[in-house]
């Protein structure tokens, strides 16, 4: 009897082992099947992405070929100028055009370097003499509603949107620099915090020899609170700086010019957009469409800080001529273009006003900034 019980137990054990083995194999097959299904799914996703990328790439190349080889020289020139003003996509026009062709297309007439600012056209006390109309509007249709001396204006143009700050007292405007010259630049909000400023815009360009975009070394002459940096640098594409009386000078200034004009805050960049009330002729300007930053001054001394969004769904960007037109509409007598593209930023009332066009959407380090107290 005991032997029979043991035999039954042995048979049950063997049966249980066989069942467990069958269950294990079944689970293993199911796991393998699920794994294969997942693999096939991701293979399809990868294939779709690759095919889509190839289709989009081919479409982009076809579109570029039509633009650069098509019947519209104006569209071609605008496309090439737009690419040239970027740091990452300058190579694109080289795909279908030779170096000689690009050189001819890119050529613009050279501006007269002998530009000097007529300071008699600027009267920084004109606002004291003219309190505006009955509704409080000044000669340019603007109202300082809260009386803080700063007016914020929304700008809308053909294919672009922008933002402008009008600082009525030009002596409130100055240039900020990073903690250490030649190191890493600061974001615009960091400049505002460092100087306890109310706001500002990006200013000049920076040397980027290693391609890291650290923004610590200004390109060209920079003057911060009367101290001159890169004094040996030439006039580059232009210069914009305020003298001790708050008058904005624009031109191709050397170190000696800056000293002679008593410049206390200024940076190098360009091109010059308006000089002594006269807009720069279009033949001296490229036709690219990009994010833009500019600084200008009205006849009554008020400073105009302008940024225009670009490379965005809501705003593709602006040409230099667009910037000139906006500034003239608001009374600019002198104006200079500042660094644009992904450097274009405006900070006011504890926030970034515009949409940064950087790949990650984050403001980049800047070598300097125009700020106001």
240-292 residue pLDDT tens: 999 999 999 999 999 999 999 999 999 999 999 999 999 999 888 887 899 99
**What's the mean pLDDT when you consider all of the chain?**
84
The C-alpha atoms of residue 307 and residue 317 are separated, in whole angstroms, by 10
Helix pair 2-69, 73-84: axis angle to 10 deg: 120
Q: 336: which strand partners?
A: 272, 295
> How many Cα atoms sit within 13 Å of 318 on the Cβ side?
27
Sign, CA dihedral 6-7-11-17, equals positive
In this prediction the pTM is 0.79
Contact 324, 279 (CB under 8 A): yes
Q: 307: which strand partners?
A: 163, 293
For residue 132, the model assigns a pLDDT of: 56
Residue 31 or 227, more confident: 227
Query: Percent of the chain at pLDDT above 70?
Result: 79
The C-alpha atoms of residue 270 and residue 237 are separated, in whole angstroms, by 5
pLDDT at 6 over 70: no
Fill in the DSSP letter of residue 367: S
How much is the CA Rg of the chain, to the nearest whole Å?
31
Q: Which of 140-144, 319-323, 335-339, 365-369 has the lowest mean pLDDT?
A: 140-144
For residue 273, the model assigns a pLDDT of: 97
For 4, the token pair is 């029979």
């Amino acid at each position: 009897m005991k032997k029979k019980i043991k035999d039954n137990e042995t048979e049950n054990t063997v049966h249980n082992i066989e069942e467990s083995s069958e269950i294990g194999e079944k689970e293993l097959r199911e796991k393998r099947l699920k794994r294969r299904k997942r693999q096939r799914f991701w293979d399809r996703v990868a294939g779709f992405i690759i095919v889509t990328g190839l289709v989009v790439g081919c479409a982009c190349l076809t579109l570029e070929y039509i633009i650069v080889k098509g019947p519209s020289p104006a569209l071609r020139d605008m496309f090439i100028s737009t690419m040239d003003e970027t740091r990452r996509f300058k190579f694109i026009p080289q795909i279908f055009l030779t170096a000689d062709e690009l050189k001819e297309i890119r050529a613009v007439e050279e501006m007269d370097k002998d530009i000097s600012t007529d300071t008699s056209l600027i009267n920084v006390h004109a606002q004291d003499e003219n309190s505006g109309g009955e509704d409080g509007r000044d000669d340019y249709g603007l109202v300082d509603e809260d009386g803080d001396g700063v007016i914020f204006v929304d700008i809308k143009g053909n294919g672009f949107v922008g933002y402008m700050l009008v600082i009525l007292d030009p002596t409130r405007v100055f240039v900020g620099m990073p903690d250490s010259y030649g190191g890493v630049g600061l974001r615009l909000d960091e400049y505002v915090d460092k100087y306890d400023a109310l706001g500002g815009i990006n200013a000049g360009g920076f040397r980027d020899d290693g391609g890291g975009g650290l923004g610590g070394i200004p390109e060209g002459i920079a003057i911060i609170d009367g101290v001159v940096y890169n004094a040996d640098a030439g006039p580059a594409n232009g210069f914009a700086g305020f003298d001790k009386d708050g008058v904005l000078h624009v031109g191709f200034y050397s170190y000696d010019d800056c000293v002679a004009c008593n410049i206390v805050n200024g940076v190098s960049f360009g091109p010059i957009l308006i000089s002594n009330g006269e807009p720069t002729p279009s033949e001296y300007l490229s036709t690219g469409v990009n994010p833009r930053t500019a600084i200008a001054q009205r006849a009554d001394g008020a400073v105009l800080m302008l940024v225009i969004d670009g490379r965005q769904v809501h705003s593709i960007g602006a040409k230099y001529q667009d910037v000139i037109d906006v500034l003239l509409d608001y009374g600019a007598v002198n104006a200079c273009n500042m660094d644009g593209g992904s450097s274009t930023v405006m900070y006011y009332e504890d926030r970034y006003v515009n949409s940064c066009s950087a790949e990650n959407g984050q403001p980049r380090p800047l070598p300097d900034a125009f700020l106001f107290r």
